[in-house]
Amino acid sequence: VRKIILDLDTGIDDTLALSYVLGSLDAELIGITGTYGNVVLDQGVDNDLRLLAMYGREDIPVFKGIDHPSTADSFSVPPDSEIFHGANGTGNIEIPAQTDRQASQQSSVDFIIDAVRRYPKGELVVVPTGALTTIAAALEKAPDIVDRISIVMMGGTLTQPGNVGPFAEANINQDPEAANRVFATTADITMVGLDVTTQALMSREDTEALRATGTSAGRFLADMTDYYIDISEKESGVYLGGCNLHDPLAAAVAIDPSLITTFATNLMVETEGPQRARTIGDPSRLLDTVKNTKVALSVDTERFTRRFMDRLLTLVRKT
Ligand code: BDR
Ligand code: CA
């Protein structure tokens, strides 16, 4: 059973990723570390605590990460994120649970460092689905974890256009400097970017199936995801027939890497000029024999989406 840490900016697809991991018998979620992006840190952490309460999983600890990019003093949600995820991060749909529980006193940075040191190499996967600020800080604070950590991240793109600019993907764009520092390490990174996440769709038939379970969790996920499908279609101006499962695909790959095929290379992130936030081959390391990043270039969408819906339906039926 894979041990998983989700580093979430909770967010609609982050919520679906969390649900997927909780519905996976072959994974154990050992903690959620909150980051910023789709929402501010405190809103994301509040969402995490309430979602865990909704699923009856208040045994899982939640930690707070760094709440702003490494090159700024503060963070406010970009207008696009608010449009796509709603003001509360869950498409303006209320999470049907309340809790008095608070985030842990320990910081995300220290929790990640301790966990990577505690588990045998390869047993734990850290899954960032938002800004990479906290991950970069952990690798810098404890260089001994660099060669022990496994990271499966949602972010970036190599072969597709960006989603917040011609080259920029949203998560990398939140803190390109931090992302660049993460890629520059020798850490084992799998990049699940727009190359593959734009191939994985959740449809209105899928949300209808969740609603038909008649559970409050099923209705909540259905309403929230319908919001995401509607706004994705409205903003792109085309009939997509669904929404992208960005973060759930990264979570699924962390549990079962056989869902994707990858290309090994060394990446950097452009931090200057009009290509700021672009993930691109690092010219100074392209010929190195050691390549630390595996970029997902294709995905078995059939197998992934079927498994995704099976696990979500099983989960909501028992909540
Ligand atoms: C990523 O950006 C966020 O809006 C989503 O939650 C996902 O992590 C997609 O580019
Ligand atoms: Ca996210």
Mean pLDDT of each 10-residue bin along the chain, 319 residues long: 98 99 98 98 98 98 98 96 97 98 98 98 98 98 98 98 96 98 98 98 98 98 98 88 97 98 98 98 96 98 98 97
Closest atom of ligand 1 to CA, residue 11: 6
C-alpha 247/C-alpha 228 separation (Å) is 13
DSSP H or E run through 231: helix 216-236
Ligand 1 is surrounded, with C-beta below 6 A, by 11, 13-14, 38, 81, 129, 154, 163, 169-171, 246-247
Tell me the C-alpha to C-alpha distance, in Å, between residue 282 and each of 114, 265, 288. 30, 9, 10
∠ CA 46-191-135, rounded to 5°: 45
Ligand 1 pocket: which of 154, 191, 194 to mutate (most atoms within 8 A of CB):
154
Q: Report, as residue numbers or ranges, the catalytic residues.
A: 9, 246
User: Tell me, what's the pLDDT at 236?
Assistant: 85
pTM comes to: 0.98
**Token pair 């085309």 is at which residue?**
238
Interface ipTM: 0.98
The distance of Cα 246 from the centroid of its chain, to the nearest Å, equals 7
- Which ligand 1 atom is nearest residue 12's CA? 6
Q: How many angstroms does the Cα of residue 287 sit away from the middle of ligand 1?
A: 31
